[in-house]
A and B are shown apart, each in its own frame.
Chain A
Amino acid sequence: MTAEPTAPQNDPAAAVLKRAHALTADYGTAPVKAWKEKNQGGLAIGHMPIYTPRVLLEAIGVLPVAIYGAGDKDIIRGDSYFQSYICHIPRSTIELGLTGMLDSLDGMIFPAICDVIRNLSGMWQMLFPKKWAAYLDLPQNFRPEVGGRFYKLELKRMARELHERGAKALSDEGLRAAIKDENLRRVALDKLAALRSDASWRVPASEAYLVTRAGGAIRAREHAALVEEYVAAANKRSGQPKDNVRVVLVGSFCEQPPFGLIKSLERAGCDIISDDLQLGIDYMEGAIDEKGDPLDALVDAFLHKGKATASRYIGEGRKGAALLDQVKRAKADGVIFAAASFCDPALLDQPMLETACEGAGIPFTSFKYAENTGQFQVIREQAGAFSDAVRLWESAA
């Protein structure tokens, strides 16, 4: 990671931000080693940044670990596995694997994001045959008797395979406890989102991002406490509201933008009120049902409470509607489409979403980045021009 947010010493959030930063060190695997020392024989399973059933993993005593690529690390070996027209995160993930940075993990889950990640899953299985690796084929049919049934079988399969490797057996009791913890995290993340929306000058998006990302390799209950602590500390900050434009950031759900880019957008006068970053942790809208059959509740949450994103099928015309709804809920002035270069799902969705924005008179601007982008001047200029145009001319032109 580059250019992590830093807080002055008299900042009430300085201590929690320092801890959050430590949790994201070493590509998110720093806390894994600590957890494994405490939980001898426990399994830690990595997953790509989009939706993964972390609840299921926690329920069987496994530590889920979000892998966000290698940021600005030099890629030497990873480049030989992918063509130049492929996005950056698969090559950097391979690089992490080949250079031993992910050795503390006992396996990897590759949820269905796009064909490239499917391909990465196959390569991983060949490169690391002794490690467990699963391609999680997420259903695109959201009828419970079709996609729901399929997804339930997938979850059971994963739980069974991990049990064979030393994880606890899947039980209703374990699953209920994990759902409860996940709901605590959901509540904390909702509080964070509310504070960003109501008092964005107290919660820079770059910090909200860091605090959310810090949950990538700790259990949900622990993460919920961290987020709650940050929200409480940020609430104590003084400062004054800024006359910035409120924006929704769309398209950064898999390969994550560098911190510098998020900060550049903020410094250019754009308050990121809502985004689709880190959907591995922040995928559900609303709580998972805590009554009834817990596995059914987990399946139901995926089917009916998943955020609208490019790797999730959404019927003709409705995808744009979801974005417009997101803009409305965020009381946003405009949309920034920020997609990773060569990200097929995001870039194929973008024209549909732009059309929806045009139809609704919502200003937008778009650019591409890579996780290792180091120069933000052009993006900052574009975002600055966008912010000024929206505020002064009430258009994006």
Chain B
Amino acid sequence: MTMTNDAPWVYSAGIDIGAGAVKVVITKSRGGEQGEIVTRVCERIRRRNVYELAERVFDDACKSAGLKPDKLVYVASTGDGEAAEKFATGHFYSMTTHARGALFLDNDARAVLDIGALHARAIKIDDRSKVLNHRMTSQCASGTGQFVENIARYLGVPLEDVGGLSLKATAPEQVSGICAVLAETDVINMVSRGVSTQDILKGIHQSIAGRLGKLLRAIKAEHTVFVSGGMALDEGMITALREALATDRGVPLKVVANADSIFAGALGAALLGAYRRHQLDRRGGAAQTNSGGTHERAA
């Protein structure tokens, strides 16, 4: 991707359909750069029809931005984009969009740790957000948000309280870092033994952090690691990750997260869509897309 100063200011949307939530971001940017987030909407799926939900969340985002869909130059889907197939102009692979979104939110990011509901992925990127290397958790769900959600439910703790409680732990208990089923058994035993909720949650965070730290080392991550996905909002998780990386004898890594981390995929998709539209327009290939959006000169 190359920055172009001649690019007009345009609106574009990104729809990230994850395993747990649908996220939509609308941006105003010049060719996918020098932009700003106009609006962001996130809604948990909660066993609803994801096709209908995607359409509704997209409509909500347009209303929130005060834009009609035809003003968007590109609607980009990412994640399980099939649900947005009806109204998306194009689809970008989630690794690409998380990389772009991460770089937009933190210009120093050279690695992304995307922790979603059902998987986690470490991505090494360059200063243009091009993906250089990646590793993903395999079959087991032990390194993912759904796992933490399950444990929180067993313990009767609201999900938003998990991070804060974990930070208060004094003697964290170690749980299996390999298998979610074994870890859940560990947790049941801990509850029987009277281990405090804080210590159990910290143990869970440490278990996940150990696993994710290995992913980051496997891709030879350097400098700043940006955490994206829903788990980035869990302070306990971020702290455990920093601690794990500080003690594993690898090169020092700075771990950062952002209030918009959960929107990184949708944000990246919106920016890449705007870039792609500009690229097609320059080539005279605008017929490739048909979202009908208009360009707005000099915002």
Is A392's CB under 8 angstroms from B90's CB? no
Q: A385-B131, A388-B96, A392-B1 are in contact. Are A243 and B275 (CB under 8 A)?
A: no
| Minimum CB distance partner of A383 in chain B | B93
Smallest beta-carbon distance B104→chain A, Å: 15
Among A267, A269, A393, contact of B1 (Cβ-Cβ < 8 Å): A393
Q: Mark A323-334, 1 if CB is under 8 A from B, else 0.
A: 000000000000
Q: Mark A380-397, 1 if CB is under 8 A from B, else 0.
A: 010011011001110000
Is B287's CB under 8 angstroms from A387's CB? no
| Minimum CB distance partner of A381 in chain B | B93
Smallest beta-carbon distance B130→chain A, Å: 6
Q: Which residues of B contact A241 (CB under 8 A)?
A: 287-290
* Contact of A244 with B by CB under 8 A: yes
* Contact of B92 with A by CB under 8 A: yes
Smallest beta-carbon distance B278→chain A, Å: 12
Q: A267-B82, A388-B96, A391-B276 are in contact. Are A243 and B130 (CB under 8 A)?
A: no
Is B89's CB under 8 angstroms from A393's CB? no
Residues of A in contact, count (CB < 8 Å) = 16
Smallest beta-carbon distance B128→chain A, Å: 9
Among A381, A384, A385, A392, contact of B272 (Cβ-Cβ < 8 Å): A392
* Contact of A9 with B by CB under 8 A: no
Is B93's CB under 8 angstroms from A268's CB? yes
Mark out the residues of chain B between 75 and 122 whose CB falls within 8 Å of any chain A CB in the assembled complex: 81-82, 88-96
Q: A392-B272, A393-B1 are in contact. Are A385 and B288 (CB under 8 A)?
A: no
Within the assembled complex, what's the spacing in Å between the Cα atoms of A384 and B93? 5
Within the assembled complex, what's the spacing in Å between the Cα atoms of A162 and B1? 63
Q: Mark B139-158, 1 if CB is under 8 A from A, else 0.
A: 00000000000000000000
Q: A385-B131, A392-B1, A392-B272 are in contact. Are A244 and B95 (CB under 8 A)?
A: no
Within the assembled complex, what's the spacing in Å between the Cα atoms of A393 and B93? 14
Q: Mark A83-109, 1 if CB is under 8 A from B, else 0.
A: 000000000000000000000000000
Q: A243-B280, A267-B81, A393-B130 are in contact. Are A388 and B92 (CB under 8 A)?
A: yes
| Minimum CB distance partner of B273 in chain A | A243
Interface residues on B, range: 20 to 34
Q: Which residues of A contact B275 (CB under 8 A)?
A: 392
Mark out the residues of chain A between 358 and 397 whose CB falls within 8 Å of any chain B CB in the assembled complex: 381, 384-385, 387-388, 391-393
Smallest beta-carbon distance A264→chain B, Å: 10
Q: Which residues of A contact B226 (CB under 8 A)?
A: none
Among B91, B94, B288, contact of A267 (Cβ-Cβ < 8 Å): B91
Is B290's CB under 8 angstroms from A269's CB? no
Q: Which residues of A contact B95 (CB under 8 A)?
A: 381, 384-385
Smallest beta-carbon distance A311→chain B, Å: 34
Q: A267-B82, A392-B276 are in contact. Are A243 and B131 (CB under 8 A)?
A: no
Q: Which residues of B contact A40 (CB under 8 A)?
A: none
Smallest beta-carbon distance B96→chain A, Å: 4
Within the assembled complex, what's the spacing in Å between the Cα atoms of A161 and B131? 60
* Contact of A149 with B by CB under 8 A: no
Q: Which residues of A contact B58 (CB under 8 A)?
A: none
Is A269's CB under 8 angstroms from B82's CB? no
| Minimum CB distance partner of B78 in chain A | A384
* Contact of A242 with B by CB under 8 A: yes
* Contact of A10 with B by CB under 8 A: no
Q: Which residues of A contact B82 (CB under 8 A)?
A: 267
Q: Which residues of B contact A240 (CB under 8 A)?
A: 89, 289-291
* Contact of B263 with A by CB under 8 A: no
Among A242, A268, A385, contact of B89 (Cβ-Cβ < 8 Å): A242
* Contact of B11 with A by CB under 8 A: no
Smallest beta-carbon distance A289→chain B, Å: 38
Mark out the residues of chain B between 253 and 281 whose CB falls within 8 Å of any chain A CB in the assembled complex: 272, 275-276, 279-280
Among A243, A268, A269, A381, contact of B288 (Cβ-Cβ < 8 Å): A243
Smallest beta-carbon distance B93→chain A, Å: 3
Q: Which residues of A contact B279 (CB under 8 A)?
A: 391
Is B1's CB under 8 angstroms from A243's CB? no
Q: Mark A242-265, 1 if CB is under 8 A from B, else 0.
A: 111000000000000000000000
Is B92's CB under 8 angstroms from A269's CB? yes
Within the assembled complex, what's the spacing in Å between the Cα atoms of A267 and B82? 7
* Contact of B74 with A by CB under 8 A: yes
Within the assembled complex, what's the spacing in Å between the Cα atoms of A242 and B86? 10
Is B93's CB under 8 angstroms from A243's CB? no
Smallest beta-carbon distance B79→chain A, Å: 11
Q: Which residues of A contact B130 (CB under 8 A)?
A: 392-393
Q: Which residues of A contact B91 (CB under 8 A)?
A: 242, 244, 267-269, 384, 387
Within the assembled complex, what's the spacing in Å between the Cα atoms of A323 and B279? 27
Most A CB contacts (10 A, CB to CB) among B81, B90, B288 go to B90
Smallest beta-carbon distance B14→chain A, Å: 13
Q: Which residues of A contact B74 (CB under 8 A)?
A: 243
Mark out the residues of chain A between 46 and 98 whose CB falls within 8 Å of any chain B CB in the assembled complex: none
Q: Which residues of B contact A392 (CB under 8 A)?
A: 1, 96, 130, 272, 275-276
Top 3 closest pairs, chain A to chain B, by CB: A384-B93, A243-B90, A240-B290
Interface residues of A (CB under 8 A from B): 240-244, 267-269, 381, 384-385, 387-388, 391-393
19 contacts between A and B (CB under 8 A): A240-B291, A241-B290, A242-B88, A242-B91, A243-B74, A243-B89, A243-B280, A243-B289, A384-B96, A385-B93, A385-B131, A387-B93, A388-B92, A388-B93, A391-B276, A391-B279, A392-B96, A392-B130, A392-B276
Interface residues of B (CB under 8 A from A): 1, 74, 81-82, 88-96, 130-131, 272, 275-276, 279-280, 287-291
Q: Could you list 19 further interchain pairs (A-B, Cβ under 8 angstroms) beyond the known A385-B131, A392-B1?
A: A240-B89, A240-B289, A240-B290, A241-B289, A243-B90, A243-B280, A243-B288, A268-B93, A269-B92, A269-B93, A381-B95, A384-B92, A384-B93, A384-B94, A387-B93, A388-B92, A388-B93, A391-B90, A392-B275
